[in-house]
Amino acid sequence: MDQRAKVMTVHEMEGNTCGKEVENKHLHGHFWNLDTGSEFLIQKPGDVQHKLDPITATIDREMKKPVFYPFNENKTPIAKHPCDIKTSFSKFPFKLAIEDLQDTNRTLSPHLLIIVPVTVAGVEEFYLLVSSVRTTADCDDIPWYHPKIKKSCRSVRALTDMQTHVSPGAFFQEVVNRMDDIRWALVPVKTKMHNGVIHGNL
């Protein structure tokens, strides 16, 4: 069954998805026109794959490209911002996609997108976490005293590189194998990338 989602707030973040919010930002159109008030459907065209289908006409068609894989669907949604959760992503439901998407400057680069459903006081909400996927060289440059962040950076890079060469089922299993690394892939480092948090209602 399709889920209808409505964007409530959009935040651009420094360093990574769970970093500090950017000041003096100009967000209009920055996240593929997923602006406050815009709506889209979360569809399930296949057994293990979900897609976004824009309802609001101004949403960039780039948002139709990502293929999301659902994980932990039988588990209870969290009750707060996913960046405030210090545990593994194996503990709660989420949907993950890695896709080459165009930024506002029309450059094409891989992005990690994670939809996390949240239930607060009985109200169903979601967070769409957006993070640029770093290059292998960027991962190698992360200081040695951040071993978890370096390892998670390499894991997400490996998932990105393998996605086009393995079956959907094999990719799903590879994400499961790296699930403990996903949380740390969202922790900020100094490199400025295209990162954000989109919050809304389901």
Taking only the tens place, the pLDDT of each residue in 110-155 is 999 999 999 988 999 999 999 889 999 989 988 888 888 899 999 9
Structure tokens at 144: 């040695």
CA angle 29, 95, 186 (to 5 degrees): 70
Residue 28 has pLDDT above 80, yes or no: no
Query: Which three-class secondary structure string do you get for 95-136?
Result: EEEEEEEECCCCCEEEEEEEEEEEEECCEEEEEEEEEECCCH
Residue 6 has pLDDT above 60, yes or no: yes
Distance between start and end Cα atoms, the chain: 13
* Residue, of 28 and 32, whose pLDDT is higher: 32
11: β partners: 197
How is the beta sheet containing 51-54 ordered, strand by strand?
51-54, 39-43, 3-12, 196-201, 123-132, 108-120, 94-102, 69-71
In the numeric block, the tokens 């503990």 are attached to: 91
> What's residue 175's pLDDT?
95
Alpha carbon distance 20, 190 (integer Å): 11
Structure tokens at 96: 């993950």
Taking only the tens place, the pLDDT of each residue in 159-185 is 999 998 999 999 999 999 999 888 887
> What's residue 151's pLDDT?
92
Query: CA-CA-CA-CA torsion for 157, 158, 164, 169, nearest 10 degrees?
Result: -120
pLDDT mean over 39-43: 92
- Is residue 1 classed exposed, middle or buried when 0-12, 13-18 and 19+ CB atoms within 10 A define those classes? exposed
Q: What stretch of H or E contains 9?
A: strand 3-12
CA angle 160, 162, 165 (to 5 degrees): 130
201: β partners: 6, 125
Boundaries of domain holding 128: 3-201
pTM over 0.75: yes
At 188, the pLDDT band (50, 70, 90 cuts) reads low
3: β partners: 42
Structurally, the chain folds into a number of domains equal to 1
